[in-house]
Amino acid sequence: MNNQSHSSPKLSVVVPVYNERATIERILELIQAVEIEKEIVIVDDGSTDGTREFLIELAAQSRSNNVHIFFQPENRGKGAAVRRGFGEARGQIVLVQDADLELDPQDYFKLLAPIERGEADVVYGARFLRGRPRAEKFSHYLGNRLLTRLSNLLTGLELNDVWTCYKAMRREVLSSLYLKEDGFSFEPEITAKLARGGWRICEEPVSYFPRGFGEGKKIGWRDGLEGVVATIRYNLFAAKAGSYLSQAGRDDGRPRSTTRKFSRPL
């Protein structure tokens, strides 16, 4: 909603938002406080709790040229909101940030470092490299472990946290992906397609402050079941990797990864 310049910032932070009125203002403050050249691409996914009205007012009053706000006509799911944000992002590196306060934007430096050193194309922010946080429900932790292990079994990766929100990638990587999932199954879908594309993936440990359903957590057991189906679908019943590439394809002169085990060990 703000005037956009034609220059490409170093980082695009894509923020999908659905009913996060209690945290949206604070998370935007924390993102802006990170001293990295960036744009913030906010996509409201049909919020009904006052978030949408807050963002409308912010779009009308904000003097920040690096904040761009878009509104989905209806609630379609996190994956759909992230795809919209990806389509609007202009940064050299693109990163996803949930609108809650579970993850700390100061960890952006960790996530960007392997990409800037030329060691990785994609970096996941792993929440469980240090074990289960005391505040995390065991059922959520166990579900994440099982879904991540299933994904690893089928992709050949050794990731610690497939379902993390924090996924940072070079623009060339993003341009190669054709994503379809509208809901939380976006997470195993993008991981499967990154693995099939041969992109170099690594992980960095990030701070994690889990919240419960009473505080707005939205992912539940149905999402877990859909995640199992998506993990199997995009790994076992997918066509060859080339079918995932955009028309631009991956022709950047960089060699494909000869191994997929570039992540930190479990």
Which residue segments constitute the domains of the chain, with CATH numbers given?
11-244 (3.90.550.10)
DSSP assignment string, 23-67: THHHHHHHHHHS-S-EEEEEEE-S--SSHHHHHHHHHHH---TTE
The number of angstroms, rounded, from the C-alpha of 162 to the middle of its chain's C-alpha atoms is: 10
Q: Which of 153, 155, 245, 168 is nearest to 202 (CA)?
A: 168
Q: pLDDT tens digit string along 161-174?
A: 999 999 999 999 99
- pLDDT surpasses 60 at 35: yes
217: exposed, middle or buried (C-beta count within 10 Å: 0-12, 13-18, 19+)? middle
Q: What is the pLDDT of residues 62-96, one digit of tens each?
A: 777 899 999 999 999 999 999 999 999 999 999 99
Distance (Å, whole) CA 128 – CA 231:
20
| Mean pLDDT value across residues 10-29 | 97
**Sign of the torsion formed by the C-alpha atoms of 191, 137, 223 and 232:** positive
As a whole-number percent, the residues of the chain with pLDDT over 90 amount to 68
CA distance 36 to 120: 19
pLDDT score for 141: 84
Q: How far apart are CA 239 and CA 107, in angstroms?
A: 36
Q: How confident is the model at residue 212 (pLDDT cuts 50, 70, 90)?
A: low
User: Tokens 């952006």 belong to which residue?
Assistant: 108
Residue 6 confidence (pLDDT): 53
The kind and range of the H/E element at 169 are: strand 167-170
pTM score, two decimals?
0.83
